[in-house]
Homo-oligomer: A and B are copies of this chain.
Amino acid sequence: MRPRLARSAFREFSGISTRWMDNDVYGHVNNVVYYAYFDTVVNSYLIAQGALDIAQGAVIGLVVESGCRYDAPVAFPDRITAGLRVTRVGNSSVRYEIGLFRNDEPDASAAGHFVHVYVDRHTRRPVPLPGPLRAAVEALAEPAAPPDGQISG
């Protein structure tokens, strides 16, 4: 079993506020909701960088694969900090990895990933990453392999 990820494994951070209904009947954030956090973290970053325009942009990102390893529970009303990094930049696709940190804890409660393929909004065919998008994701890529390796799916 791989060790839990540390905050130092990530390049960019953002806060997520949990919601009452994120908790399921067992009293913790439901496994499904983690993916809503991942989606939000990645798209928020791209929008803030001017690299994605949900409503009007010619290029949109479609998720073709996702995964998560749940290492420790989180629960509303915890605050969560999400760490973000990029481990692969292809011609049309990007692999994002996300760590979720509960309150002030040093080790990630969950390690997730997803792969976006960028497509033309209308034809839904893959396109090369536009310049601003490529710049935004390359800024999150590690110059060298991180010590704890890629998060496997």
Residues on A lying within 8 angstroms of B by beta carbon are 15-21, 23-27, 30-33, 35-37, 39-40, 43-44, 47-48, 54-55, 60, 62-70, 76-77, 114, 152-153
Q: Given A21-B32, A27-B25, does the pair A70, B63 have CB atoms closer than 8 Å? A: yes
The distance from the CB of A61 to the nearest CB of chain B, in whole angstroms, is: 9
Q: Is the interface of A mostly helix, strand, loop or mixed?
A: mixed
Picked from B32, B48, B54, B70, the residue with its CB within 8 Å of the CB of A32 is B32
Q: Which of A15, A18, A27, A54 counts the most chain B CB atoms within 10 A?
A: A54
B contact residues around A43 at 8 Å (CB) = 20, 76-77
A64 to B44 alpha-carbon distance, docked (Å): 26
Q: Given A21-B32, A32-B39, does the pair A47, B15 have CB atoms closer than 8 Å? A: no
The distance from the CB of A63 to the nearest CB of chain B, in whole angstroms, is: 4
A37 to B22 alpha-carbon distance, docked (Å): 11
Is B63 a contact partner of A39 (Cβ separation < 8 A)?
no
Is A35 a contact partner of B25 (Cβ separation < 8 A)?
no
Is A64 a contact partner of B54 (Cβ separation < 8 A)?
no
Q: Given A32-B35, A65-B70, does the pair A27, B40 have CB atoms closer than 8 Å? A: no
B contact residues around A152 at 8 Å (CB) = 153
A-B contacts, 14 listed (Cβ < 8 Å): A16-B17, A17-B17, A17-B40, A19-B36, A19-B37, A19-B40, A21-B30, A26-B62, A31-B63, A31-B114, A54-B76, A65-B69, A65-B70, A66-B70
